[in-house]
A = this chain, B = another copy of it.
């Protein structure tokens, strides 16, 4: 999947961040930089809530809006948002409509104070919880799971002695894949679902703690990575330090494979695995399979030509580049950039119509003719969604003189829906759901086509337990 074609984007989630520093410090700008570092996880809306641990209780300030972090927050907003504790969020809708009322953090006042909450993932039993809540008279402004989460915690808080106990009681009722940071005016409470489907990491910079979806956000504020929050762990962070509750931790984990394939930043490390290395090794695995195939049945790889007998290996920017490096490294076939990417195609760009002879693919990606002319190219991307973008890309390569274009995909075909917060499109949109690999190869005009095999995930991420339900339908049993 090419990350520059929003219409083809299927796997979008959210990014969360939380910071608590010494009294008197202001964390709002760190939250801003951290959210910019997490911007790839969601571009629909952004928000920040802050509080002062020494200030009057319940005084949480929130700014949120539609668009990029740099569009939502002006210098003024950051000056106004003052406090030494805060949470932030970037969002791309997976559940709920796309509108301001669904933007996070969710900040609420309740009988024992106030809280703000940020959430990445999907609560599978949100509807049931919401119905319970509504029977108690808790009305909802939004259609987001996050409001359901906030109400669950608030409801528990009435009957419990502390916010930690309330979060624990609420956590016992949740099903799904999630990473949540709850902020009370004095503390941050982070929780990760028992399978560890969604990522959550902890870092530190002097006396300031930081929680975030990815280690890249920790680095973006000059802090050091400490560790991953464990699957099922609930961590309370105050100015005094960290307390861990492992009541919901269990043996089996199932980390979302798609974070490694596509979603996370290449400079992040999750549950001990470098995202970049995983992608590089996926490319290596593809090369090894091509080598095997050729050894077995020379000259017959899903199409008319030998996969390994190509002149150069290239990736679709930016999603296929690292896997292409891995493929090149393993196969010994030279790596080459074959595209110029126009970095000025912003969101306000007026797209060409068909009549205008060009589609947006061509405006964004241009082939380098001197590289591809007369060449057999092995082209890697991380996924094929509808196939239209890949077809345009292959057409452009051939028009520029490429002799052959062999496509390798650094993930298996999507076949099953995700219930844990990754928005895999419905079967109707997924070309793999009702087309054979050969059909897809023909449709996109490739000379050969092969996908990463599910059994090769082991090459990619080693012994790490993965959730691969979207590829094989094996959902973690809860």
Pick the interface stretch among A34-42, A420-428, A440-448: A34-42
A131 at the interface (CB under 8 A from B): yes
CA distance A279 to B267 in the complex (A): 27
Chain B residues with Cβ below 8 Å from A322 are: 337
A95 at the interface (CB under 8 A from B): no
CA distance A36 to B340 in the complex (A): 13
Q: Contact between B150 and A70 (Cβ–Cβ < 8 Å)?
A: no
Q: Contact between B267 and A366 (Cβ–Cβ < 8 Å)?
A: yes
A246 at the interface (CB under 8 A from B): no
Q: Contact between B267 and A348 (Cβ–Cβ < 8 Å)?
A: no
Pick the interface stretch among A186-194, A230-238, A255-263, A368-376: A368-376
Q: Contact between B139 and A368 (Cβ–Cβ < 8 Å)?
A: no
Q: Contact between A370 and B277 (Cβ–Cβ < 8 Å)?
A: yes
Q: Contact between B36 and A345 (Cβ–Cβ < 8 Å)?
A: yes
CA distance A370 to B325 in the complex (A): 14
Chain B residues with Cβ below 8 Å from A344 are: 36, 39-40, 43, 68-70
CA distance A170 to B131 in the complex (A): 22
Cβ-defined partner of A321 (8 Å) among B154, B337, B349, B371: B337
Residue of B nearest to A225 (CB): B369
Q: How many copies does the complex hold?
A: 4
A219 at the interface (CB under 8 A from B): yes
A276 at the interface (CB under 8 A from B): yes
A438 to chain B, nearest CB (A): 31
Q: How large is the interface on A (under 10, 10 to 19, 20 to 34, 35 or more residues)?
A: 35 or more
Residue of B nearest to A43 (CB): B344
Chain B residues with Cβ below 8 Å from A342 are: 36-37, 39-40
Chain B residues with Cβ below 8 Å from A348 are: 70-71
Pick the interface stretch among A175-183, A288-296, A355-363: A355-363
A97 to chain B, nearest CB (A): 11
CA distance A133 to B345 in the complex (A): 41
Q: Contact between B78 and A109 (Cβ–Cβ < 8 Å)?
A: no
Pick the interface stretch among A16-24, A297-305, A327-335, A384-392: A327-335
Chain A residues numbered 50-74 whose CB sits less than 8 Å from any CB in chain B? 68-71, 73-74
A270 to chain B, nearest CB (A): 12
Q: Contact between A352 and B29 (Cβ–Cβ < 8 Å)?
A: yes
A37 to chain B, nearest CB (A): 7
A33 at the interface (CB under 8 A from B): yes
Residue of B nearest to A340 (CB): B267
26 contacts between A and B (CB under 8 A): A33-B356, A36-B342, A39-B342, A68-B344, A68-B346, A70-B345, A70-B346, A74-B350, A109-B140, A111-B131, A135-B158, A136-B136, A138-B138, A139-B154, A141-B141, A216-B366, A219-B362, A220-B363, A265-B366, A266-B340, A267-B367, A267-B368, A267-B369, A269-B369, A325-B337, A346-B346
The 3 closest A-B pairs by CB, nearest first: A111-B134, A222-B357, A274-B370
